[in-house]
Structure 1
Amino acid sequence: MKGGCFFLALDCSCCRSRWRRGDIRAVVIRRVCPNVRLIMPFSLQGFPWRFAVYFIAGCYLFADLYACKGPLHARLMAGRGSSPEGQGGGYAAEVYGRPITRLELEEAMREHLWKRNESWAALNPEARRQTRWTVLENLVNDRILRAFRIMNGLDTVPPLDSARRESDQMRRQFANEAEYPQRLAAMQQTPKSHDEAIRDAQLDEQWIAEKISHRLAEVTEADARAWYDEFKETLRIPQAHHAAHLFLTRHDKTKPDREAEVREIHRQTVAKEKTFAELAALHSDDDRTKKIGGDLGWFTRERMPADFIAAVERLKIGQLSDPVLTKLGWHLIIVMERQESRLPTYEEAGEEIFALLTSQRREEAVKSLVGELRGRSQRPTKFVFYHASIIDRAEPAS
């Protein structure tokens, strides 16, 4: 080093030759002061800069997260290292640094049971444990999708007014305007945060649609017809009845002898002293049908109690039954119309089959996408953490 300068050249006759011809650029990097220069007589035009940047960033992440336990590691582990007992009854899980509270889990459990018409009290301990974890995993999947949506962005952003419409529709479900913020407060939300949650959900759906579009194979006519040929029996339309009844409850303590009463009404009907509709309006205890001639509309076996439907199926069209005793009380029944069980034609079921197959393929594509994102959220760095002590105490919200 002379005069405060350091000169570096490649010890190669070819390079020196090119240097003399001026074919190689010199890069000067100043350090500390203008007099200290590093001169590199070689070309950087074809240097793989992107790979170098990614390589350096990867090395830094590895050193921070694994080798040195640096600031990024400390930030990611802050939630995990601290007590999960926090807002909303504690954190059931944390996904990319964002918590899923026990309250959120319990709200989702209530909706899960309602959709399946299940009772929490009727579930055994193992079924309860499975319900907790099934619901939580669905919430985790939603959070992972959202995290990747935020990181990657959207190609097309849906309009804001769609979120406003959904929010306004929810508000109108409450008879009293004050009930809406009260209900949200019970969920530890405000109207603003709830509107933001609706918007986030819409953005998530848009992002999912963009990411799975290339994975979805279009349902063809051949696909639908093949499904119909194989599974058409599952589409069978059951036998249906159109009937009317006159009903006397057996649970009215002020009227102990309902059998005598129903038999007298039956006699009057057979003798045509009054029409069936007139007698139903006078005597029936079924307030929903007494003013419309006892008309029950169309129904299938699945919609009616077994003892009632058994009596209906024995009757011919237009025939008045003898008094029928069920667990609920006494009935007089007339069957007005009947449709026998049948298979729908392909033309009748085609639209439903297309919708079913499209839905199935979308579910498979979303499941595949979620599986990939979950894998990327666990390896090489873990971004999903669970708190079993909180999860095991979760109960469906009341």
Structure 2
Amino acid sequence: MKVLPRLILLAAAGYLIADGFVFKGPVSRWAGSIISPASAPLAARVDGHPITISQLDRALAESLWLDGKTPASLKPEELKAARETALQELIDHELLRLQVKALAAQLPVTPEEINERLRRLVGRFETKGALETAMKTQGIPSEQDLRDRLAARIRQEKFLALRLAPSSRVTDEEAREWFERNQAAVALPERIDARHIFIPTLDHPPEEAKQKLDAALVELTEKKKDFATLARELSEDPATKENGGALGWMTASRLPEDFSVPAFSLEVNKPTLFRTKLGWHLVEVTARQPAGPRTFEQAKPEILNALAALKSRQATEEIRSSLRKSGSGKIEVF
């Protein structure tokens, strides 16, 4: 794997730092503390708060899923190490939660912030039933309880941002030095410029969503309406619908595989319908650029972000060590 993409991966999966497409799982990575039945088998306890075996299993599965793996795909010694890593992350998360809880008054969260986080969370589930099942599994009885937990998570992120900001600054000199050593690593991969009309299966039966986009494709083909008009009328992607469905320039590595594979196989200016786990998409690739080299100025924003993420990860490890020292007497591992 090239060096820069590896740094970018750290930015996306940075330890204890999560957001949007950085969050690791449907609910358990968002929800903060989780109330579990007293009879549930425990993996650990932090200041009296239980971490159950089922929580550990879910955290392990989610972590492996991000790497395209499953528990069954690992050797016994690999599985043991992965479980230990997942458990330590859950313990660290709980220590962080306790620290932030004590500072809640200094880390205000607005209703708008919670609403936006809830909207992103809901969008990760194919149906309302799937979301409700996940909430029940996690011991989250109501939407208000979920909102409270999301607020706690946002406070954690703000706490980390305040602690990490001074340590994550990167100078232009540092960025240029890295570029000179790794010019091959910053070569541009193949990119496409695309737009889409999206109807999720969360709120619509899959066949109904498909029929709407089939009809839209006919209108496009017969030139009754243009793509931008149909996007504004039909798309349920709030980030793109008012902009004609424009997704901008994208690389395959930045997209979910069930979207990138069909999208990158499309011919230019040939709208095509396909389904992902989130719903149905009518996608048109409007331009394509092959892989090629980049200048420092072109790569600079990405290098700055990636190096800042690396510095943040190093600083996060220091925070982790500090939390462990202050909370060492509160941790029981079974």
TM-score, structure 1 as length reference: 0.47
Q: Deviations over 1:73-131 (max 9, x none)?
A: xxxxxxxxxxxx96474121111221111222121112101100012212111011011
State how 1:91-130 maps to structure 2 within 5 Å. Answer: 91-130=42-81
Is 1:369 the equivalent of 2:290? no
RMSD: 3.2
2-structure distance, mates of 1:112, 1:88: 26
Deviation at 1:133, TM superposition (A): 0.7
Q: Is the Cα–Cα contact under 8 Å of residues 108 and 135 in structure 1 kept in the other structure? A: yes
Residues 198 and 123 of structure 1, relative CA distance in 2, 3 Å threshold = same
How does 1:19-98 map onto structure 2 within 5 Å?
Answer: 87=38, 89-98=40-49
Q: Which amino acid aligns with 1:350?
A: K
User: Is residue 2:304 matched to residue 1:357?
Assistant: no
Assess, with a 3 A threshold, how the Cα gap between structure 1 residues 174 and 138 changes in structure 2: closer, same or farther: closer
Length, aligned pairs only: 209
1:99-178 maps to which residues of 2 (within 5 A)? 99-153=50-104, 155-174=106-125, 176-178=127-129
Question: What is the CA–CA distance in structure 1 between the aligned matches of 2:133 and 2:182, rounded to whole Å?
Answer: 48
Whole-angstrom CA distance in 1 between matches of 2:154 and 2:103:
16
Residues 230, 147 of structure 1: alpha-carbon distance in 2 compared, 3 angstrom cutoff: same
* Aligned equivalent of 1:329: none
Query: Which fold has the larger relative contact order, with Cα–Cα distance below 8 Å and residues 6 or more apart in sequence?
Result: 2
Other-structure match for 2:331: 384
Q: 1:193 to 1:101 in 2, by over 3 A?
A: farther
Structure (1 or 2) with the larger CA radius of gyration: 1
SS at match of 1:92: strand
Letter in 1 for 2:71: W
Q: CA deviation at 1:202?
A: 0.6
User: Identity percentage over the alignment?
Assistant: 21
- Is the CA contact 1:88–1:102 (under 8 Å) kept in the aligned structure 2? no
Q: For residues 176 and 150 of structure 1, what CA distance do their matches in structure 2 show?
A: 32
Query: Where in structure 1 are there 5+ consecutive unaligned residues?
Result: 1-84, 242-299, 303-336, 388-398
Take 1:176 and 1:239, find their aligned partners in 2: how far apart are those partners? 34
Q: Name the aligned partner's letter for residue 333 of structure 2.
A: Y
Q: Hey, what does 1:268 align to over in structure 2?
A: none
Question: Cα offset for 1:184?
Answer: 1.5
Give the match for residue 244 of structure 2.
Answer: none
For the residue of structure 2 that corresponds to 1:94, the secondary structure is strand
Conservation of the 8 A alpha-carbon contact between 1:239 and 1:339: yes
Amino acid at match of 1:383: K
* In 2: Cα distance, 1:205 partner to 1:238 partner: 31
Indicate conservation of the 8 Å contact 2:43/2:52, yes or no. yes
AA of the residue aligned to 1:119: T
Looking at structure 2, the residues matched to 356 and 197 of structure 1 have their Cα atoms a distance apart, in angstroms, of: 29
Aligned AA for 1:182? T
Taking a change above 3 Å as real, the CA distance of residues 353 and 213 of structure 1, as seen in their structure-2 partners, is closer
Q: Check 1:88–1:212 CA distance in 2 against 1; reply closer, same or farther (3 A cut).
A: farther
AA partner of residue 147 (structure 1): L
Indicate conservation of the 8 Å contact 2:43/2:53, yes or no: yes
- Partner residue of 2:173 out of 208, 222, 225: 222
Gaps of 5+ in 2: 1-35, 193-250, 254-286
Given that residues 158 and 206 in structure 1 are in contact (C-alpha distance below 8 angstroms), is that contact kept between their aligned partners in structure 2?
Answer: no
Shift of 1:198: 1.3
Give the Cα separation in 2 of the matches to 1:166 and 1:133: 29
Aligned equivalents of 1:115, 1:204: Cα separation in 2:
22
Given the superposition, is the C-alpha separation of residues 163 and 238 from structure 1 closer, same or farther in structure 2, using an over 3 Å criterion? closer
Counterpart position of 1:231: 182
